Structure 1
Amino acid sequence: MQFTKLTTVTIAVAAALALSACGKKDDAAAPAGASAPAAAAAGGDTVKIGFAAPLTGPQAHYGEEYKNGVTLAIEDANAEKPTIGGKPVTFELDAQDDQADPKTATQLAQKLVDDKVAGIIGHFNSGCAIPASKIYSDAGIPMIAMATSPVFTAQGFKNTFRSMTSDTQQGSVMGKFVVDTLKAKKIVIVDDRTAYGQGLADEFEKAVKAAGGDVAKREFTNDKATDFAAILTSIKSVNPDVIFYGGADAQSAPMAKQMKRLGLKAPLISGEMTKTPNFLQLAGKEAEGSIASLAGLPLEQMPKGKEYADKYKARFKTDVATYSPYGYDATRALIQAMKDANSTDPKAYLPVLAKIKYSGVTSSNWTYDDKGDLKDGGITVYKVEGGQWKVMQTIGGGAAAPAAASAAQ
């Protein structure tokens, strides 16, 4: 009986090992558009691209849309049946949920390194991307993040790149816009104390002061708050012309509602994490008159914006919100660098990525400076009118000037 059990176990283990070995061979051999067995015969490789963003919690809508753009880029790349290093390759997404939490982000960064991904798209939040970037840098893995904090690319790492303009660019544009275009005299600033929210607010404040504006008051909250009665009551005594908020729509939407209910006439002004369909839904009629900036051109003015919008809707049965075109371009730029270097080895294609010249959805001139910041980055200012985000003004990025007509209204 003991012999029979031992024999059975031995056979089972041997069978499991054989199946495992076959699985690894098939996984590594899948070329674009082929089944695993056919791919093994073709001698292709599977190349993992890591992705990290909030996929659960109050910021999940950002992460899911961002991920959709990356997914679409990988599907499009695989449909082209790419060959790198003399072998057909298929790209595979390794998506992780960092929950917009820095501690979780660093744990996932190590997991993605251990998964042997060839490159990283993400993280979404600056507070996650900054600590995670050290882990990827130590492993020599390139990352193209949505993070907008200036700190992200100021660390001296060679592996960090952006897919949007930084808060330095965005904050400086909005600070000047509020003083020069909106003619605001008394400006109040509130931020959520995250790397993104505080960083954007800091850059905005610098620009306001440089343009000759007056920051009458500065307050802060956190990225979990929804009750702003105390802060807004304090702000009301200042009688501000505008209130700038650095943070996400989960806070800016209830803030906009509470501002109106307290009788504050100043418009809410914020960054790209407020310029979302989610903000409009959460704030309802109190969203009216709110203003937000977003890196890059409006979707309809992007070089391949309409084509992308149609393809995105056909694939995901919903409209583009904010971030997916940037996730798409970041992924295609990463893959192009691999193809140009004729290698998926991060050490081989990293210097090629640093000098990439890519023509994509969001920009026809996707190139980086020596820090990893995009050279060709514009900023668009939007205002909620009739329950919709409408373009007020587009600055830089190859845009035509006269989207500014409604700015003076």
Structure 2
Amino acid sequence: MRRFPPPKTLLLAAMLAALAVAAPAAAEVRIAVVAPSSGAFAPFGDAIRAGVAAGAAAIGEVEGEPIVVEEAEDACDAERATATANRLVGRGVRLVVGHFCSLASVAAANVYAENGIVLITPSAAGSKVTDTRPAPMVFRIAPRIDAAGRFLGAFLGRSYRNAAVAFVGDGSTYGKGLVDGALPAFRSRGGKPVLIETFQAGERSFETLAAKLAGEGIDVLFIGGYQADAAQIVTDLAAVGERPTVVGGDALMVDDYLGLAGDAAEGTVFAAPADLIGAGDAAGFAGYARRAQAAVEVWAAAAGEAGSLAGPDVAAEIAAGSFDTVLGEISFDAAGDSDLPGYALYQWRGGRIAALR
């Protein structure tokens, strides 16, 4: 005859089994990196993931718990970024390094703020990322895009004040930020734009815009937009015999721009963070890795100072402190922007990026 254990024994066994399933094998602290894994920005995403991995490996553990890295993607889409953020909340992450794009960062920041998670972006340059941050737990280790616009506008005013300069932009957070920053800086130095136009991103042809620009006899074209559109614009201009000096933001440093524009890309001037492109960096990817690694270093040091992994505690230490990182010493202003160096000028020459002195 089969004997069954008493009810109390069964209850105890069930409770122990449940605990064994629910409890992790060992305590750990989870951080996440949200960066592109496909498309034109995938090389930047690879660099950011590598930087986070390097930082986590070098630090090892925080508050006595090993660091585990989660990886995610949002395709630079606000809705997908929100969904990704909610999933990471469910995973119990303490830090998010990302998101790569500004609109995605702004959307996701609301979710992280509601759940006490620190967000540090190594790339999102849009002003709204920190200007509209929903809580003091959002930080940026990258110069602002409006600062890039002002920097480029000042360059144009110094170098091309009396030239025929046109400004075109795609109206995106990135493109508008560049144009809105550049125009006042150019005008304040005596420059007078011959044309200001907005174009629709993603068009297969910009022949109409090219004809309009050619009709103005432009010497310099400022483009506030991404690499594929910029490449098509300069290609269409070259097709009608126009090769103005092209000036734009750091989207023009990616290999896609050179590959799509070909010879028309020669001489293109762009602004990129001063510490982003170093000796041997083909297109700034190593710079993004360093920024991502620095984000992990800042967070880990702040958690150590706070003696806590709670987002508000760590954020308070980040806001108040100064941190030694792979990029050097970093601190943050009241908005959450870092005090890293600003922008520098670079140029495509013979298929390679060179500093513009």
Bin of the TM-score, shorter chain as denominator length = 0.7 to 0.9
CA distance in 1, matches of 2:47, 2:261: 20
Is residue 2:350 matched to residue 1:386?
yes
Is residue 2:339 matched to residue 1:361?
no
User: Kindly tell me: are residues 320 and 57 of structure 1, through their superposed partners in 2, closer, same or farther at Cα, counting changes over 3 Å?
Assistant: closer
CA distance in 2, matches of 1:361, 1:75: 14
Q: CA deviation at 1:340?
A: 2.2
Q: CA deviation at 1:125?
A: 0.8
Is residue 2:311 matched to residue 1:346?
yes
Is residue 2:71 matched to residue 1:71?
no
What residue number does 1:377 align with?
A: 341
Asked whether the equivalents of residues 180 and 211 of structure 1 are also in contact (C-alpha less than 8 Å), the reply is yes
What residue number does 2:8 align with?
A: none
Q: Across the two proteins, how many residue pairs are aligned to each other? A: 343
Scaled by the length of structure 1, what TM-score is found? 0.76
- Report the identity percentage: 24
Is residue 2:76 matched to residue 1:100?
yes
Q: Give CA deviations for 1:136-183 in whole Å, capped at 9, x if unaligned.
A: 122222211221111221115312211111022211111000110344
Q: Give CA deviations for 1:321-359 in whole Å, capped at 9, x if unaligned.
A: 552222222222122222222222212211011123123
What residue number does 1:115 align with?
A: 91
1:312-331 equivalent positions in 2, closer than 5 A: 320=285, 322-331=287-296
CA distance in 2, matches of 1:294, 1:274: 9
Of the three residues 109, 112, 127, the one matched with 1:133 is 109
Of the three residues 21, 28, 42, the one matched with 1:60 is 42
Q: Give CA deviations for 1:213-268 in whole Å, capped at 9, x if unaligned.
A: 12222222344334222222211111222111122223223333333222222121
Scaled by the length of structure 2, what TM-score is found? 0.87
CA distance in 2, matches of 1:57, 1:120: 22
User: Kindly tell me: are residues 182 and 213 of structure 1, through their superposed partners in 2, closer, same or farther at Cα, counting changes over 3 Å?
Assistant: closer
Q: CA deviation at 1:271?
A: 0.8
Q: CA deviation at 1:18?
A: 4.4
CA distance in 1, matches of 2:52, 2:271: 23
Is residue 2:3 matched to residue 1:21?
no
Q: CA deviation at 1:319?
A: 8.6
User: Kindly tell me: are residues 357 and 222 of structure 1, through their superposed partners in 2, closer, same or farther at Cα, counting changes over 3 Å?
Assistant: farther
List structure 1 segments (4+ residues) > 6 angstroms apart after TM superposition: none
List alignment gaps of at least 5 residues for structure 2: 1-12
Asked whether the equivalents of residues 171 and 201 of structure 1 are also in contact (C-alpha less than 8 Å), the reply is yes
List alignment gaps of at least 5 residues for structure 1: 1-13, 30-44, 393-403, 405-409
What residue number does 2:299 align with?
A: 334
Query: Amino acid of the residue matched to residue 51 of structure 1?
Result: V
CA-based RMSD of the aligned residues comes to 2.7
Query: Amino acid of the residue matched to residue 261 of structure 2?
Result: A
Of the three residues 110, 117, 127, the one matched with 1:150 is 127
CA distance in 2, matches of 1:92, 1:73: 11
